[in-house]
């Protein structure tokens, strides 16, 4: 039970009861004080409630929780995504040919197109040799290889055999 307590002090109380180390950003200090009455609530549920009330976001890193505003967390996630995208563009492309034995080449191409790297990867087919030619990063090619190995199998068939026996008394 707390009345008119700042979010920094409230998060410190949760840190004491949880055993986690909590790093609080400067944006949290500007949030107006709040009052809470919680009974028989686990600390993680209390933390989630406090974060929701204060429009905050927590990132877990081992035994550390980093608390900052949702806006700053979204901005950091956007920067991380842009950085990841830039790094993906730097990865060299590799070409690999996958011969197919049983799968239909057009169906396989359509299926693999989903896994190709956006704006970089390319998939083409050679109907003469029933092969798929993939140009993409090594990681994506390994994924496609596993998919092709799994799907390029012979369709199970059933053999129905009958024998007619004719018998006479003579």
- pLDDT for 44-82, tens place per residue? 888 888 888 888 988 888 889 888 888 888 898 899 888
pLDDT at 88 over 80: no
Q: What angle do CA 55, 58, 64 make, to 5 degrees?
A: 150
* pLDDT at position 95: 92
Confidence of residue 3 (pLDDT cuts 50, 70, 90): confident
Confidence of residue 13 (pLDDT cuts 50, 70, 90): confident
Contact of 78 with 92, CB cutoff 8 Å = no
* pLDDT at position 148: 92
Read off the pLDDT of each residue in 132-159 and give the average, rounded to a whole number: 91
Mean pLDDT score of the chain, rounded to an integer?
A: 88
Contact of 11 with 22, CB cutoff 8 Å = yes
Comparing CA positions, the residue from 135, 63, 132, 60 lying closest to residue 101 is 132
* Cα–chain center distance at 104: 29
* pLDDT at position 144: 92
* pLDDT at position 69: 86
Read off the pLDDT of each residue in 148-162 and give the average, rounded to a whole number: 89
The whole-model pTM stands at: 0.50
């Amino acid at each position: 039970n707390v009345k008119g307590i700042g979010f920094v002090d409230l998060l410190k109380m949760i840190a004491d009861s949880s055993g986690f180390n909590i790093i609080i950003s400067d944006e949290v200090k500007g949030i107006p004080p709040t009052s809470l009455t919680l009974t028989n609530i686990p600390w993680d549920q209390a933390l989630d409630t406090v974060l929701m009330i204060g429009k905050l976001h927590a990132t877990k890193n081992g035994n550390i929780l980093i608390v900052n505003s949702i806006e700053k967390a979204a901005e950091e996630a956007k920067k991380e995504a842009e950085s990841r995208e830039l790094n993906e563009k730097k990865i060299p492309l590799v070409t690999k040919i996958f011969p197919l034995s049983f799968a239909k080449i057009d169906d396989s191409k359509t299926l693999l197109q989903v896994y190709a790297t956006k704006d970089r990867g390319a998939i083409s087919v050679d109907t003469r040799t029933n092969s798929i030619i993939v140009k993409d990063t090594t990681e994506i090619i390994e994924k496609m290889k596993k998919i092709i190995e799994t799907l390029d199998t012979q369709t199970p068939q059933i053999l129905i055999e009958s024998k007619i026996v004719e018998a006479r008394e003579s």
